[in-house]
Amino acid sequence: MTIDRSLLQTEKQNPNTIDIDKLSISEILKIINQEDSTISASVQKVTPEIKRTVDLTIAALKCGNRIVYIGAGTSGRLGILDVSEIPPTFSAPSEWFTGVIAGGREAVYKSIEGAEDLPQNAKRDLDKIGLRKGDVLIGIASSGTTPYVIAGLQYGQQLGCATVFLLCNPTPLEKYGFDVIIPAQVGPEIITGSTRLKAGTATKLILNMISTTTMIKMGKVYGNLMVDLQVVNKKLADRGTRIITQLTNLNYNDAGNLLQDAKGSVKTAIVMNKKCCSLIDARELLEKYAGNLRAIIGDISA
């Protein structure tokens, strides 16, 4: 199928930035900021589709399946970025979220532009990470036309995965039969065709919404506190200690000692304090309630 890319919103010339090269630095910065300020409204319009996606991701994780991002270029890198942040932020198992990028690991650091035009590689790459029935496969492609991503989603359909397509064009995709289509239409780019800009920002916002909401509903957050935190450096030790002081009557030093007794697990430390129990008992309670801290200690004003 031949695609006329001149018809894509992300490839059109932006009338607001036609003479951007004539502007002063301050004027360029102002116009970039003005264009970026429209992105939030574009994302807001697709929140129903994002909600449907989160319903799928939560259901998949609860059934022992995974969420897999697949993309090329900037889209693929943004998927990899989101995946890499989830384990340290939420102490989530690394297998919960996985990222696949056209061109492989090298493409994360270096542009391999031709990789997106090789749809046959999508099946190979998804087989390599063990994609299986029940997983949620989220394809990311600003244009909505990337052969590698579309082929990957179609392969996911064959396996019995839930399929989600995140794009930044109003391209009609009903014919593919994907479970969810998220068309975040941000309009023409600041620099014609440079989808690392507005489209990339919209993509990052949406991936943040998907993964963060999923983790909240998987019991990784108490209120707005990052309680499922595993201390692996001084910054996280300080953050974890402060969270414990907020949810208990302990001072900073005592909270730090309790965190050490809990083997660096903030959530475990809080259960030990609130339930007056041992490390082993706290771990058993967390296992019983699937890590849901609120189910164990109830409501506490932080």
From the candidates 11, 49, 95, 116, which is the catalytic residue? 116
One-letter amino acid identity for 192? T
According to DSSP, the residues that pair with 225 across neighbouring strands are 222
Q: Which helix (H) or strand (E) holds 127?
A: helix 120-128
CA-derived radius of gyration, the chain: 22
Q: Report residue 69: phi and psi, to 5°.
A: -95, 140
Q: 252-261 and 234-247 helices cross at what angle (nearest 10)?
A: 110
CA distance linking residue 212 with residue 300, whole number of Å: 22
Q: Is 189 a catalytic residue?
A: no
Cβ contacts of 176 within 8 Å, gap of 6 or more: 150, 153, 154, 165
Compute the distance between CA of residue 251 and CA of residue 273 in angstroms, rounded to an integer. 12
CB 258 within 8 A of CB 241: no
CB of 241 closer than 8 Å to CB of 249: no
Catalytic residue among 85, 106, 189, 287: 85
- In the residue annotation, 85 being an active-site residue is answered as yes
Cβ atoms of residues 184 and 42 within 8 Å: yes
Task: Return the SS3 of 140.
Answer: strand
What is the C-alpha separation between 236 and 6, in angstroms, rounded?
48
Q: CB count, 10 Å around CB of 2?
A: 4
Would you please indicate which residues are annotated as catalytic (active-site) residues?
A: 85, 116
